[in-house]
Structures are given as C-alpha cells and as structure tokens.
Amino acid sequence: MPILEVRQLRHVYSAGTPYEKTALQDVSLTVEKGELIGVIGHTGSGKSTLVQHLNGLLKPTSGQVLLDGDDIWKNPKAIRAIRFRVGMVFQYPEYQLFEETVEKDIAFGPHNMGLPDEEIAARVRRAATFVGLSEDILAESPFELSGGQKRRVAIAGVMAMEPEILVLDEPTAGLDPKGRETILSQIEAYRRENGTTVLLVSHNMEDVARLADKVLVMDHGEVRMFDETAAVFSRAEELEALGLSVPAVTRIFMALRARGFAVGDNAYTTDQAVRRLLSLVRGGTPHAE
Amino acid sequence: MLSDITIGQYFPGESVLHRMDPRVKIVLTIAYIAAIFIPQNWAGLGVAVAFLIVCVACSRLPLRLIWKSLKPILPIVLITAVLNALYVHQGVVLVDWWILHITTGGLIHAAFLALRILCLIAGSSLLTYTTGPTALTDALERLMKPLKVIRVPVHELAMMMTIALRFIPTLIEETDKIMSAQKARGADMESGGVLKRIRALIPVLIPLFVSSFRRAYDLAMAMECRCYHGGSGRTRMIQLHLHRRDAIAIAATAACVAAAIVFNFLLPATI
C-alpha cells in the first residue's frame, strides 16, 4: 500500500469573494514508502498549496489525502497527530524560531507530542547531530546564529519529531552553495538512516536531478508530469514550455547530440556526465555519425 | 484562514463610483452627510434617500454589503428611535399609561431620525466600499495640504498611514505562515483555557515581532537608498484629475443639498 495517496484534490482560496482563486485542480498522486519525490513548478503553480494539504494545514475543497490508506480528515480532531507523522519544513523556516535556546526550540515539536523528557532530550541530540549542530550551540540563543545555522536548527526542529514523511519546501533557498550542499547531504543522510519518505520542493533542477527518485511537475494547479527523474528530464522542451528548465549538464548533452556527437542518453547529474564523456573520449570516437 | 479578512472594506469593482476621484468622493460624502441633516420635512429627506439609492445602484455593489454595514448600528438606531418615541410629545396621544406617553409626533420623530442615521452609515460606507485604502490616504493627504501652513506634518502622517496600510496584508500573511509553521510542529492554538491560549501565542508573536523589526529596518534602508527625505519636492506617480463623472457627481450632490434647503423654506417642518 502506498504510504501517501492524493485523490482528485482541489483547493479554492477565498471561495465566494472577488478574490476567489483555484489553486489546485484534480491533483492525484501516490507515493511509496521511502521514496524521495522532487516537486518542481514555477512560482504560483500550486506546489506550496499541495504540500500544505499533506499534513492537514489546508483542508481540501474536494478530494482526499490518504496516509497509510486512511483519510487524514476522517477525524478532524486528530489532525495534530497527522502533523507529527508528516513533518513539514516551510520556506525560510528560520523565521519560525522563537525559543530562548536552540535546544528548547528543537524540542518544541517533540514536546507538543507529549513525549517524556528523556526521549525529548535524546531526539534533540539526534536531530542536532543530523544537521551538524555541535553540543555547545544547543545552549545558545537561536537569534544569535548565522543564517545557515538558523535554517539547520529549524530543520532539526521538524526532524526531531521523527515523522514518517518529511516535506521540505525549498530548504536551500537563499543559502550559499556550500550551505546548500551541507543541508542537502544532511537530508540525504537522515533519509538513508531512517528510511523516511521525503518530498522536496525545489527550484533547483540540479538538486532535484541528483536526489530525487521521482519528479512531480506542477503547473497552474495541475499535475503535468509525475514520473521517474530520468523520464521527466528527458522531456526538456515540455519543461521549458512550462517555464522550467533541465539541469545544465542535460542541456550540454542535448547540445552535443544536436551537433552530432554520439553521447547516448542524456545525463542528469555531473557524475553521470563525467562518466559518459570519459568513456566516449577513451572509446576514441568523439565524432560519430 | 486569516487572509480571508478584508482590510478596510474595499470591494473591488469597475463602476462609476469606483472610478471617481477619491478627493471628490470624500468631499461629496461630507456634503451628503450635511444634506441628510439639513432637511426638516419628509420631502427633503426623501430626496436624500433617493440620491442614496441612485448612488448604490451606480456602485453595482451587492446589496448584502450595504446591509452588512448597517447591521452593527441597528441597536443604536433602535435605541434612538425608542427614546425619541418616548420623549417627544407632539400631535395626537396614542398611548398614555403610567410613565409611557406615545404620540404621533414622537413616532414621526423616531422614524425620521432612524432614517437619517441609516442614510448616514450607508452613504459613508459607500465611500469605503468603492475606494481602496491607499487612494483614501492619498486623497486625504491632498485635502489636508492647507494644514501645512499651521505646521501639521501632513505628508509624514499620510506616509505613515500608507505604510501601515500597505503592511497589514503582509503582516497577516506573515502571521499565517508562522502559525502554519508552528502548527506543523504540533502547536495547539484552538483548544484549552484562556491562559493556555495566550501561552500558545508566544511561538507566533515572537517571530512576528522579530520579522516586523527586520522589515522596518529594510524598508527604512530602501527608502533612504532612494533618497527619501520627506514630502518636500516629491512628485506623484498617480496624478488625480477631475473628469466629467466627477463634475456630474458634484452637480448632483449640490442639487441634493439645494433641494433640502429649498424644501425647508417651501414646506412646513415635520420635526
């Protein structure tokens, strides 16, 4: 059984006013346990609206969200329990920090779950380790940290709830390349260790290509593509028509092929590209056809 | 959701009233209020009511909006009407029992006043329904310009008002976001006693304060970078011009006020 299923989801904002806007239309998808799904789409395509339905922050206008086969709105009073199972890291999550110390802030989620103190302390330590925060930072005020550190504290705050599904809305927005790399590899490590299902909303095609098993493409509130990463990025023209792009290496490969080089299938990550090109060069037939 | 709250009462539209010059609208609203209080007989008030009905029709606003603006003041209207009915003793006595003395004159007084208050509220809410908050402050600034002579910092006040209005939706959006983020971490804001609920606001209020200050610094910096130095010598992007519709509106309102005055002379006073 898929861990997460969305059925004909539709969401209308401010229904019945002049500001009425349909943000999602007939969205259906299934996610298997342990998958990492990349969610892409230009600004205003409905990505954020979609992910906010997954933990019940928004209620569908019509349609269903099923977690482990059960409708999350079956018992609206128990929606908080769903939020602990589907952890959600918002865009710029560092703006949600409020506690006196980093430790207390990370403990906010686990504390709300009603866990015993020892368990909370253990989870805070574990989450902090995952995002690479040292022991002495835990006692500091979150407002005195650097931007990248704040971001990692905020992500740790959600990881500490140890959700079955982790949703991250542009976790690397506004970070420098090194900060981006750190956070992505930490998310990857966390997922490998816990077998967590991850949904990663991103504008960065390179990141999606490298990490995702499958890619969901949103446009105007509808699902345009939902397929294996390689299959999605092979439809470069369609993606560009939607205002999206393909990874830079993929563009290079497409250009090479257009000039008559037998580069074979497209490459999506730099590693892949290097291997393909090296074998091509060593094969001694740089010019084909 | 918080974002469903409408700021002020602006109801977007394309009607003649929406497109009128906001300065003219403010002045005419004040004139109209005078036109409601001048008449002393039904004919004069009738003209004012008819004028209002025409304006509402021109605005193409749904009638439930007008009703929504009247609803909160209904108790006040009722109390005024009852007091007038009880304390004005004119004409034929209808009820005379214990301390209750109700006369026809009292009832007419009550109805007259109630109608006046209803017209007053409906008329002024028409202004706020058809004029966006920024257009309103803009028009106010220009109308208050003469006050500069007595050193009222008109421009600064208007700028503060504009900025405050501009940031209300931003702050609401921000609050919404922070609330969602804390709810996602299991914050419970919907249940529990008063104390518990106040406590539950801390995770929302602290980040909100922090980000408000950040925004204020950013905005001040951005304004200084663009050489903002107060109102002197600033020109406007949107220049207000009077159009034919404004002239017609001014003429119509003037006629309404004139009619009220003329009827006061020609006809006997009802109240």
ipTM score? 0.86
Query: Is the pLDDT higher at A38 or at B240?
Result: A38
Using a CB-CB cut-off of 8 Å, the residues of chain B touching A96 are: 178, 181-182, 185, 203, 207
Residue A285 pLDDT exceeds 60:
no
Instruction: Mark B174-202 as b/e (b = at least 16 C-beta within 10 Å).
Output: bbebbbbbbbbbbbeeeeeeeeeeeebee
Q: Cβ–Cβ of A161/B180 closer than 8 Å?
A: no
Using a CB-CB cut-off of 8 Å, the residues of chain A touching B187 are: 108, 112
Using a CB-CB cut-off of 8 Å, the residues of chain A touching B201 are: none
* A69-126 confidence digits (pLDDT tens): 999 999 888 888 999 999 999 999 998 999 999 999 999 999 999 999 999 999 999 9
Tokens of A186: 């930490």
* A4-30 confidence digits (pLDDT tens): 999 999 999 877 777 788 999 999 999
Rounded to the nearest angstrom, the minimum Cα separation between A37 and chain B is 20
Rounded to the nearest angstrom, the minimum Cα separation between A212 and chain B is 24
Q: Cβ–Cβ of B186/A109 closer than 8 Å?
A: yes
Q: Where are the domains of chain B?
A: 11-144+240-266
Q: Is B170 on the interface with A (CB under 8 A)?
A: no
Residue A288 pLDDT exceeds 70:
no
* A240-270 confidence digits (pLDDT tens): 888 888 888 888 888 888 888 877 777 888 8
Residue A168 pLDDT exceeds 90:
yes
Q: Is B7 on the interface with A (CB under 8 A)?
A: no
Confidence of residue B3 (pLDDT cuts 50, 70, 90): very low
The mean per-residue pLDDT over the stretch A55-65 comes to: 93
Rounded to the nearest angstrom, the minimum Cα separation between B109 and chain A is 39
Q: Is B215 on the interface with A (CB under 8 A)?
A: no
Share of chain A above pLDDT 70, in %: 98
Q: Is B132 on the interface with A (CB under 8 A)?
A: no
Q: Measured between alpha carbons, how far is residue A121 from residues A115, A116, A161 in Å? A: 10, 9, 12
Domains of chain A: 1-74+165-180+196-244 (3.40.50.300), 247-289 (no CATH)
Q: Cβ–Cβ of A108/B203 closer than 8 Å?
A: yes
Give phi and psi for A6, each to the nearest 5. -115, 130
Handedness of CA B80, B86, B92, B97 (dihedral sign): positive
* A191-214 confidence digits (pLDDT tens): 999 999 999 999 888 889 989 999
The mean per-residue pLDDT over the stretch B34-61 comes to: 91
Helix, strand counts (H, E) of chain A: 11, 10
Rounded to the nearest angstrom, the minimum Cα separation between B176 and chain A is 11
Cα–Cα dist B65/B266, whole Å: 36
Chain centroid to CA B7: 11
Q: Cβ–Cβ of A97/B207 closer than 8 Å?
A: yes
Rounded to the nearest angstrom, the minimum Cα separation between B191 and chain A is 10
